[in-house]
Amino acid sequence: MRHCCQFKADDIYYLYETAVYTTRKLSVGFCPICKKPIAELYKVLFSGTVEREYFIGISADNIIHKLKNEINYSASKSNLSKFKSKPYGWKYGENKSAVIKGKERIKQYACDFYGNKEIIKTI
């Protein structure tokens, strides 16, 4: 992947085929220089034409959220099955309110796109 310099993706998500694209993969990572999240969407049309789109910062987050239901499998899922029960790959935060002993508390979770969830803290 490329932003301020060339760097290795943290994870690669392979997306389902569509009527238009034979291959779609989404590489995600953080630029080691400016620390911004970067997503690269690589798509191959049935005609063989390759399309690449880059998403930087908040738009990288947005594209991953948008495509999360289209993920077939990821590189980390096939390589790192030992982390199965904990969130891995690209994580996002989720807040849930809960009433504990009559008081409203916010539970913060880290989630991944495979349904794994880990509580980070309760406030």
Which residues of the chain form contacts with Zn ion (CB under 5 A)?
Answer: 3-4, 31, 33-34
Closest distance between Zn ion and the C-beta of residue 10, in Å? 14
Using DSSP's 3-state secondary structure scheme, residue 61 falls into: helix
Half-sphere exposure of 92 (CA within 13 A, CB side): 14
Closest distance between Zn ion and the C-beta of residue 15, in Å? 24
Q: In the complex with Zn ion, which residue's Cβ is closer, 4 or 80?
A: 4
Q: In the complex with Zn ion, which residue's Cβ is closer, 15 or 39?
A: 39
Phi, psi angle pair for 60, to nearest 5°: -65, -45
Considering only the C-alpha atoms of the chain, give the largest distance between any 2 of them, rounded to a whole number of Å. Answer: 61
Closest distance between Zn ion and the C-beta of residue 6, in Å? 11
Q: In the complex with Zn ion, which residue's Cβ is closer, 8 or 101?
A: 8
Q: In the complex with Zn ion, which residue's Cβ is closer, 33 or 98?
A: 33
Tell me the C-alpha to C-alpha distance, in Å, between residue 113 and each of 7, 65, 77, 86, 106. 23, 9, 11, 11, 21
Closest distance between Zn ion and the C-beta of residue 34, in Å? 3
In sequence order, the 6+-apart residues with CB closer than 8 A to the CB of 6 are: none
